[in-house]
Chains A and B, each alone.
Chain A
Amino acid sequence: QKEVEQNSGPLSVPEGAIASLNCTYSDRGSQSFFWYRQYSGKSPELIMFIYSNGDKEDGRFTAQLNKASQYVSLLIRDSQPSDSATYLCAVNMKGNNRLAFGKGNQVVVIP
């Protein structure tokens, strides 16, 4: 089983809709969780981090964490064309000083 899995294919959403991205992780002891956005040809940039179960909101972004289900998600409300990018889920596992990344989910916002 991969450390971090993002299985969905490219996601197309109309402008103004909600984009929902999911991520699962294998290590139950994982402690911190991050979402990065990566535009084509650019490096990843941090959008949000979450450490505790529940929801965390920052502007149009909401991260949701469920440690019992080993599941973290990202919601993008009122999607804009500028949100079109690949979104990478990253997890820091207990006792480990690196971040493990998923393969990413591509989001395309259609005007």
Chain B
Amino acid sequence: EAAVTQSPRNKVTVTGGNVTLSCRQTNSHNYMYWYRQDTGHGLRLIHYSYGAGNLQIGDVPDGYKATRTTQEDFFLLLELASPSQTSLYFCASSEWDRGRDERLFFGHGTKLSVL
């Protein structure tokens, strides 16, 4: 079973602070994703990547940077955190291969509070 590990599990910061959320997947999936989940909005895609050094913009990218340093590691950066970024953040990975298993595998999430 695919494994996606996020850290930290919980994070509290103040407005204007810097935050880095980490994600590692151990199944050599090519695609990795960062989503945020908020009541009433469901999951919304922030950024995603199809390999080391690649970055694709998602649907709600404002205020977020991301970097894919290796096949396994994908980071989400909030350089000037705002209260509107208080949310539950999920990392996910997938191996897109038409006609085969294209399931998305999620980490356990990071609960971020910006005070």
- On whether the two chains bind one another, the answer is no
Q: Give residues in A with beta carbon < 8 Å to B.
A: none
